[in-house]
Structure 1
Amino acid sequence: MDQINLFPLFLSLRVALTATLFTIIIGLPVAYYLSMAKGKFTDFIDTVITLPIVLPPTVLGYYLLVLLGRQSPLGIFLEERLNIMIVFTPTGAVIAAMVVSIPFLIKSAKAAFANIDPNIINAARVLGRTEFNIFLTIIIPLAWRGIVAGITLSFARALGDFGTTLMVAGSIPNRTMTMPIAIYDALLAGNRDLANILVLIMTIVSLTVLYTINRLEKRVSKGGN
């Protein structure tokens, strides 16, 4: 068997980690807003955020291509003014992974935020704490288990994405080929030995993630923060 190219593994890990980082930065404030706000507009935002979970990956990838492609207004602006290309680049893979994974963090964190006793938050406000300080020093520590579970799910989803990443980033060897795409290409090429090894690696990673999630869920079910 030919020597195994580990680039897809390292790229997948890098893409998943980067996407998860942006998911945390963007997802936590959104989740907190959704847990506090009420009304039809909030419900609409929540529905839009949930769409990546239920939409077929090819449909989601198509929307991203329309939005970020080289012929789109945003794509033209980024390329001509900032010399930034999204489609068929590692950056495109990160964006695709973030879009498909961020709903899992938002849903989990939103539920954790909603379970916090509002009297604790109101008491902090009476004591003169700012909203940002309350969010960092009270909300996050009280909801950390739900947040960690959401982060774990988001990382796993970003690591395993295939359809959306393929549509946006393509399958360029040693540039945009992630592990799921490498497995697919290995099967198409008839290299079952390579496919088996890559599948084994992804299975081990997935089992580790699921075990971590299950342990966190058991701790939450026992109560206590």
Structure 2
Amino acid sequence: MDWLGPQEWTAVALSLKVSFWAMLASLPIGVLTAYALARWRFPGRQMLNGLVHLPLILPPVVTGYLLLMTLSPRAPLGAALEAVGIIFAFRWTGAALAAAIMGFPLMVRAIRLSIEAVDPKLEEAAATLGASRLKVFATITLPLILPGVLTGAILAFAKAMGEFGATITFVSNIPGQTQTLPSAIYAFLQVPGGEASALRLVAVSIAVAMAALALSEWLSRRVARRVGA
């Protein structure tokens, strides 16, 4: 892929890094949240559901602004985290956080639908045989919902690859540090003669998105066949 320049390669590599960690860090929380929404009944359940889906409704710039106001070094929480060496604002870690938040609703939705499709009687039968709640989840629920977990993870990864509004608001557009694929495309379109570079990155974005969707379908079908067998 010599047709990509150094700055373009850097943007692609950073996007893959940000998307991978955004997906990986949010996956355990996504599974727990989806399970809580699908199986538990508790005060504030509808509020939790609303908060989970809020990034889909709010403009991405608003999400990025809220992150900046909460986690910037001048904010109380941001200053406390900086004191222990955790910095999000204007760092690639902040880009991963913003991407994770924007992809979280898609992940939770896919996993929740899988959990709701599992017959609760299977879990109840295992519990009556003396299995703990954790063991029931690990041996019964998780294998059955694995296609949904994989689908949710890959959808979140693909969403993270395309995230722009929240990311650029929270971590800016710093080449080599926070400039992801969408930010690089935007930057190239702002300079004369940058259209060719922007077009190459658009092609990469489309290829990655299509590959992620194809992988999601393939993995889901493969795991579903194994679970069915």
TM-score above 0.5: yes
Which position in structure 1 is the counterpart of 2:72? 69
- 1:11-47 Cα offsets, whole Å, 9 max, x none, are 1001100010011111101111111123551111011
Residues 18-33 of structure 1: pairs in structure 2 closer than 5 A: 18-33=21-36
Offset at 1:214?
4.9
Determine the C-alpha separation between the residues in 2 that align with 1:22 and 1:4: 28
In structure 2, which of residues 192, 210, 214 is the aligned counterpart of residue 211 of structure 1?
214
Structure 2 CA distance for aligned equivalents of residues 105 and 64 of structure 1: 20
Instruction: Give TM-score, length-normalised by structure 2.
Output: 0.90
Q: Secondary structure at 2:174's aligned position in 1?
A: coil
Describe how 1:167-178 pairs up with structure 2 within 5 A: 167-178=169-180
Distance (Å, rounded) in 2 between the aligned partners of 1:161 and 1:11: 13
User: 1:3 deviation in Å?
Assistant: 3.4
Determine the structure 2 residue equivalent to 1:142: 144
Q: 1:217 to 1:91 in 2, by over 3 A?
A: closer
Unaligned 5+ segments in structure 1 are none
Shift, 1:176, TM fit: 0.9
Q: Once the 2 structures are TM-superposed, how far is the Cα of residue 221 of structure 1 from its aligned partner?
A: 10
The 3-state SS of whatever aligns with 2:102 is helix
* Structure 1 residues 1-225: aligned runs within 5 Å: 3-5=5-7, 6-38=9-41, 41-79=44-82, 81-190=83-192, 191-214=194-217, 225=228
* Count of aligned pairs: 223
Structure 2 CA distance, aligned partners of 1:136 and 1:114?
16
Cα deviation, residue 53, structure 1: 1.1
Identity of matched residues, %: 33
Distance 1:2 1:115 in 2: 44
Q: Deviation string for 1:48-71 (max 9, x for gaps)? A: 100011111101111111111122
Q: Which amino acid aligns with 2:108?
A: I
Question: Structure 1 length as normaliser, TM-score?
Answer: 0.91
